[in-house]
C-alpha cells in the first residue's frame, strides 16, 4: 500500500493531528487567499446521504485491491462484510434479525479507514479537475472531512464542472448526494461582480444558494466576517450557562464551579476560536463574559 498517495492530502478525517478545525482552517485560508488576490470564490458544501450506511461493498473491495490490500487481509475484510445481519432494540425489545447488504459498520474499528478508501478517488478527481485553485502552488479546491466534501472554484462554470464530477462518481459507485442539504455560497472579491443568475445542479436537482453555512461547527458566510460566527458562539455559551446555572449554585467548592464552567460553558464558546482573525466583535464576548 502506497502511504504517500493515500489518503489525499485534502482529506482531514480520521487521521492523527487532523480533524474538523484543520478542515475548516484549510477552507477559510483558501477562500481568504483568493479573495485577497482579487478572485471571486464559489463554494459548494456537499451532503452525502447516509454516508457510512450506503457504501457499496463490492466497489469498496475493488478499491482496497487497487491500493495494495490483497491476500489474507483482503479476504478477512471480505468475510467481515459477507452475510451480515442486524437487529434493532427499542425499549428493551429486540426486532428480528435482518440481512444487511451494504454499508460499513458505524463504530467499527475498520469502518473509518474503509470509508476513507471508498471516498478517496472522488477527492482525487475533484483535485485534478481544478488544479489552479488553492494557495500559491498548493491545490486546495476540495477540503474534506470524511464524508463532508467542499468544492471551491473561481467561476460558476468550474464549480458546476466539479459538481458534475461528484454526481457521476456517486452514480458509478452507488451512493447519493442530498441536494436539499447541500448548499452554495458565493463570495465576492472587492471590485468584482458575482454571477448570481447561475443555477447549479447536482444531476437534475437544483442546489440552493445561501448567505452562510455551518461547516463542521464553524460558520462560513458570503461576507467573510466573524460577527455571525461569534454571535452564535455567545448564544451557545448562554444556553450552556443557563443549562447548568442551578447546578453551579449547589457547589460549595469554588474550584468545582470554575472547573464546571470551563468545561461546559467556556469550551462551547471558544470552539473554533483558532480561526478567528481581525476580531472586530469583541463587544459580544465582553457582554457574555
Specify the pLDDT at position 143.
96
User: Which among 132, 163, 136 is positioned nearest to 43, based on CA atoms?
Assistant: 163
Query: Cβ neighbours of residue 122 under 8 Å, at least 6 residues apart?
Result: 149, 165, 166, 169
Q: Are the C-beta atoms of residues 270 and 216 closer than 8 Å to each other?
A: no
Specify the pLDDT at position 36.
94
User: Which among 163, 84, 92 is positioned nearest to 130, based on CA atoms?
Assistant: 163
Q: What is the pTM (predicted TM-score) of this model?
A: 0.88
Give the Cα separation of 160 and 214 in Å (integer).
Answer: 22
Specify the pLDDT at position 287.
65
Q: Are the C-beta atoms of residues 191 and 38 closer than 8 Å to each other?
A: yes
Give the Cα separation of 127 and 143 in Å (integer).
Answer: 10
Phi, psi torsion values for 260, nearest 5 degrees: -65, -40
Look up residue 2 and give its DSSP letter. -
Q: Which residues of the chain have pLDDT under 50?
A: none
Specify the pLDDT at position 274.
85
Amino acid at each position: 500500500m502506497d502511504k504517500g498517495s493515500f489518503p489525499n492530502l485534502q482529506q482531514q478525517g480520521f487521521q492523527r493531528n487532523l480533524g474538523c478545525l484543520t478542515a475548516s482552517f484549510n477552507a477559510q485560508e483558501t477562500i481568504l487567499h483568493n479573495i485577497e488576490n482579487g478572485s471571486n470564490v464559489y463554494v459548494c458544501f456537499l451532503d452525502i446521504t447516509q454516508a457510512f450506511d450506503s457504501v457499496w461493498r463490492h466497489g469498496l473491495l475493488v478499491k482496497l485491491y487497487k491500493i495494495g490490500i490483497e491476500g489474507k487481509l483482503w479476504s478477512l475484510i471480505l468475510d467481515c462484510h459477507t452475510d451480515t445481519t442486524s437487529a434493532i432494540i427499542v425499549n428493551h425489545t429486540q426486532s428480528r434479525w435482518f440481512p444487511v447488504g451494504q454499508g460499513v459498520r458505524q463504530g467499527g474499528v475498520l469502518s473509518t479507514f474503509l470509508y476513507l478508501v471508498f471516498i478517496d478517488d472522488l477527492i482525487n478527481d475533484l483535485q485534478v479537475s481544478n488544479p489552479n485553485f488553492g494557495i500559491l502552488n498548493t491545490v486546495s479546491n476540495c477540503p474534506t472531512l470524511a464524508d463532508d466534501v467542499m468544492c471551491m472554484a473561481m467561476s460558476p462554470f468550474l464549480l458546476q464542472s466539479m459538481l458534475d464530477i461528484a454526481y457521476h462518481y456517486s452514480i458509478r459507485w452507488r451512493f447519493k448526494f442530498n441536494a436539499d442539504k447541500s448548499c452554495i455560497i458565493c463570495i465576492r472579491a472587492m471590485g468584482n461582480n458575482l454571477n448570481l443568475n447561475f443555477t447549479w445542479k447536482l444531476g437534475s436537482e437544483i442546489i440552493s444558494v445561501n448567505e452562510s453555512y455551518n461547516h463542521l461547527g464553524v460558520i462560513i458566510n458570503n461576507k467573510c466576517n466573524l460577527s455571525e460566527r461569534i454571535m452564535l458562539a455567545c448564544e451557545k455559551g448562554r444556553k450552556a450557562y443557563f443549562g447548568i446555572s442551578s447546578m453551579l449554585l449547589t457547589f460549595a467548592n469554588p474550584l468545582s464551579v470554575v472547573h464546571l464552567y470551563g468545561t461546559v460553558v467556556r469550551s462551547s464558546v471558544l470552539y473554533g476560536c483558532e480561526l478567528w482573525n481581525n476580531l472586530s466583535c469583541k463587544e459580544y464576548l465582553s457582554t457574555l463574559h
